[in-house]
Structure 1
Amino acid sequence: MWYERSWQWAKEHLTVTVPGVVLIFFATYVLMLAVNAGEVGASWVQTFGSLVGLGIAIWLPWQDSKRRHKEELARERGYARRLFYAAYEICGQIAGLFDELELIRNYDREVSSAIFERILSRLNSSFDDDPHPDRVALVHELRQNLPGLLGYLKHGARDENSGGKKIFQLRGYYRQVCNNCWSHLAQLEADLPPAERTMRPVDF
């Protein structure tokens, strides 16, 4: 019932704030005056109580809507953070395949393939219930070239003929997607205090 919700809300909000305590004392004082005033006072208290009840009936749904919006925004930020970190990990792993001369270094096929397979699996399972159109597009951009990259790695891509040039191109592609993921995350966190925002990696 509405009065049970009102009482629960009052216990959680009014009794822990100075204005709330003052309001409780004021309501108690008004009630005592009404009791002493007799029948007229009782009628006045009934009217006053109806107005308070109406105010609470309006206030509670508004507070509930505000809470749900806050929770939804936190969920959106969580998705955006996970997506950026996945993109950042892809960029880092691809960059690690190249040496200081921009040539593909010797790498362990099984280890490198397992890393990208794990990332692809995470992308396939972690965002299926996320309906946000921007992130749906970003996830697709991250997913679509990973199977090809895995194929090059498993076959030992080294030079232009064996897929090395394609991996080099994918490095630039994924860096751009990572930038897009960061921009999306930064937009969602723009209203947060600086201390609560995701820190941009120093090497990104």
Structure 2
Amino acid sequence: MKKLQKGFSLVELLVVVAIIGVLAGVGIVGYQSYTDSAKSRVGIANFNSVKRFTETELTLLNNNIQTVSGALSAAATASSCTTGLSPFTIYSSDMEDFVRGLTCYFATDGYGNAFKNPFDAGGGHQVVFSGAPASMKKGNINVRFFAGANQTTNGAEVPVSSLVAAGGSSGYFLIEYYTADGAAGAGSTGEYKAKAFQLK
């Protein structure tokens, strides 16, 4: 007597394939949401680190606790963060050299803590010196000058009659975070709000 071999019917196989497809679809969406959230958190953490580092350096320089920065170099050239660097000394370098040097500190080819843009698959710089807002990518941290005194930019304010010229040895600059390509601040509030800094 021949024994019948038992197996899965076509309907059972189709049901299993459908269940696997649904689970895979839910998993992919969940994973994508998780990676986007992780990238955003890294970008904001780096933004806060840049602001805290800048506050610390300016506290030391502005209050004459040190006249030569122990961490920052003045960067005289825009082409590279490895050449044209010299210790930053207050009143002997202009604002542009200071702000460029601050940017170089966080550049991937710089001399400090390298911050790569978590949203850039190519691993480009996250901290950018005086970039045109329209050219900024999601996740970029732009360190730049105000267009003029008595101005609010992405939530950061510069007082009336304040120095904002890049060529001076003192003045205001801002640090801003880009939440989308060409768009900074996400409403200029909360954790995305830009911050103004003054080198006295």
* Bucket of the pairwise TM-score, normalised by the shorter protein: 0.3 to 0.5
Structure 1 length as normaliser, TM-score?
0.42
Identify the structure with the greater helix proportion.
1
Rg: which structure is higher?
1
Identify the structure with the greater strand proportion.
2
